[in-house]
Amino acid sequence: MLDVKLFFLQTETIKLLSLSYHKSMFMESYEIKTVVHKMRTEELTDEAQRWMALATAAATKAYAPYSHFHVGAVAALSDGTVVTGNNQENAACPSGLCAERVALFSAGAAYPDTAVKALTLVAVKDGVVQDTISPCGACRQVLLETERRQRRPIMIMLCGKSEVRTIDSAEQLLPEPFY
């Protein structure tokens, strides 16, 4: 039996999500916590604002004829290089790719020895930046494997029209990864 309890503690800049899993009375119980930092878009550093602008521009070039939901991503590398990606849909679903994986795979192919320090996401629909979105499960797995391969965390920056949420590590987005 799996009992999931959600507790939300909202402050001006931090949202704490606590998941308690109780598998059975004979198994070990443990708690998983994710800290999400929240801020207004105007509070971003110049570098983070640049990443958001590049992700927004990438989103406008996405190929999304089915969902009309355009997502852009920026993989910011440790040497200052930025690699953009956007979602690429395909009629033979699930043959398309999410923006996160396009950016991460492109960065890995072009700069295999340079660590990704941050991944920025922006969604655009009908030319308007949407509320924050979160990576799908497949993208979370790729983020986590990228983190583990490079042996350093990737900050994930989820940008919306007026709010930005950051997570310090992909490990917090996928506490029970596939190995």
User: Catalytic amino acids?
Assistant: 100
DSSP codes, 143-169: HHHHHHHHTS--EEEEE-SSEEEEES-
CA-to-CA distance for 64 and 66, rounded, in angstroms? 6
Whether omega before 112 lies within 30 degrees of 0, making that bond cis, reads no
Enclosing H/E stretch for 35? strand 30-40
CA gap 4, 170 in Å, rounded: 21
Distances (CA, A) of 176 to 78, 105, 108, 173: 27, 22, 24, 9
Is 35:172 a contact under the CB 8 Å cutoff? yes
Q: How far apart are CA 65 and CA 90, in angstroms?
A: 8
